[in-house]
Amino acid sequence: MTRQELYQQIQSKGSYLCVGLDADYSRIPRHLLKYEDPVYEFNRQIIDATKGLCVAYKPNLAFYEAQGAKGWASLQKTLAYIPEEHFTIADAKRGDIGNTSRLYARAFFETMDFDAVTVAPYMGEDSVAPFLGFDGKWVILLALTSNQGSRDFQMDKQENGQPLYEKVMRRAQQWGSPDQLMFVVGATHPEQFEEVRRIAPDNFLLVPGVGAQGGDLQSVSRYGFNDHCGLLVNSSRGIIFAGDGEDFAEKARAAAMEVREEMVQLLG
């Protein structure tokens, strides 16, 4: 999916919502356990309930890998069920030496056909470059994440006073264009978004942390928008686990609708 195609989806739906499919088996409504594949059935109903309100889906691979071969099967079926118009993100946080990264890239972009994969930058350019070699595919590079521990290293000031995450973002823009490179910037750091936009004015930002983690959508949008919206705001638990009964999908839709209605106002 190209940047323009993604922006067209945002415009047509009045939404820049990404729904995180963090299908924690221990939290799936109990009535779904009668199905042969409860995880897939949970995801299927969530997708049916939210597909008109979001532009992207982001399965967190840990929740599938933890189930072994069954989990991978659930993930593949889920990916196949997501409508083609939606942007799909493998939240895998990969990053290794070049020949290993090449195989990771093939796994997510060829075997599974995701649109994007999250990548850790710690090992440098040669660990990221293999993911950038696929037409129409995206690298979403970890920059300033939403967890509390992000301050341990990412906010650490360098000799020139520049936080480490800024160095990562500036250097990474030498590796790929805004048509293939996004950055993860957590909603729990709203005070940083104005500076993030000065560093990367044209790149899309994947923004976790809205919802259960307490990030503020209005602040993120105010400082994070660019001419093409430039934001994919992710909500996982706040939507998919809005309810835990037989009406869980309806509750998920209501939660997604609430976010989307706010997005319509913010998009103007």
Domain range for 233 is: 3-267
- Cα–Cα nearest to 59, from 49, 48, 46: 46
Q: What is the pLDDT of residue 268?
A: 85
Just list the catalytic residues.
93
Q: What pLDDT is stored for residue 154 in this prediction?
A: 83
Question: Cα(236)–Cα(20) distance, rounded to whole angstroms?
Answer: 4
What kind and span of H or E run contains 181? strand 181-185
Specify the number of domains making up the chain: 1
Residue 152 pLDDT > 90: no
pLDDT of residue 213: 61
Q: What is the CATH number of the domain that holds 15?
A: 3.20.20.70
Q: Which residue has the higher pLDDT, 214 or 121?
A: 121
Q: What is the pLDDT of residues 11-66, one digit of tens each?
A: 999 999 999 999 999 999 999 999 999 999 999 999 999 999 999 999 999 999 99
Reported pTM = 0.96
User: Are 67 and 51 within 8 A, CB to CB?
Assistant: no
Q: What is the pLDDT of residue 86?
A: 98
